[in-house]
Structure 1
């Protein structure tokens, strides 16, 4: 009984963290590595890009980081933000890009 209660409490405290949105402008390497498709080398590449370019203006700019393509970006879009702005759904971004084509 005591073990089950301990497991329940741990899950209760960890569950909000599992649903937290990661701000790619302020996240450290460990926080970036919690994102789907981001390991140590991609997390470091994000940090280096951020240092070199002064941070991200949009979440879509993340695909400019070496090793991160559109597929990776789409897989983690719901879990990232830039400041207080949460990423737009992938289909919204695609539709906006298509409208801008001449």
Structure 2
């Protein structure tokens, strides 16, 4: 019984620890060090985010994309998938980008036919 309770307790603690490790990093609140915990953000990008944020907080992802050089829709989708948020929101385009990438991978390639081959059929 005690062994079962200890196992349950350990599982719960590990679950909480992994959830904390995956905690979102908000572009409007994060320090440079916190921003750099996101895969794809290094010192130069984090500096640009902090510099752009000095004038005013980012309203949304589109505002961040407009104001931070080097972050476009594709990079925003990747950063969002890695845990970056703007005002607590993930990038809305992230799901669409993932879906489009999946369709590219899942779609079978069309056989190559030359005009001559098509004319013979």
TM-score (normalised: structure 2): 0.56
Q: What is the rounded CA distance, in whole Å, between the counterparts of 2:45 and 2:88 in structure 1?
A: 23
Q: Distance in 1 between matches of 2:29 and 2:71?
A: 18
Work out the CA distance in 1 between the residues paired with 2:52 and 2:85: 16
Q: Structure 2 vs 1, CA of residues 66 and 82 (structure 1 numbering), >3 Å: closer, same or farther?
A: same
State the distance in 1 between where 2:65 and 2:79 align.
11
* Aligned partners of 2:77 and 2:91 also within 8 Å: no
* 1:76 maps to 2:79: yes
- Provide structure 1 residue ranges, at least 5 long, that are not aligned to the other structure: 1-7, 93-102
Number of corresponding residues: 82
Q: Output the CA distance in 1 between the equivalents of 2:25 and 2:64.
A: 13
Q: How much does 1:44 deviate?
A: 0.6
TM-score in terms of structure 1 length: 0.65
- Ranges in structure 2 where 5+ consecutive residues have no aligned partner: 1-9, 98-121
- The question of whether the paired residues in 2 share the 8 Å contact of 1:77 and 1:88 is answered with no
Q: Higher relative CO (CA 8 A, sep ≥ 6), structure 1 or 2? A: 1
Partner Cα separation in structure 2 for residue 84 and residue 38 of structure 1: 18
Aligned equivalents of 1:27, 1:89: Cα separation in 2: 22
Q: Which has the larger radius of gyration?
A: 2
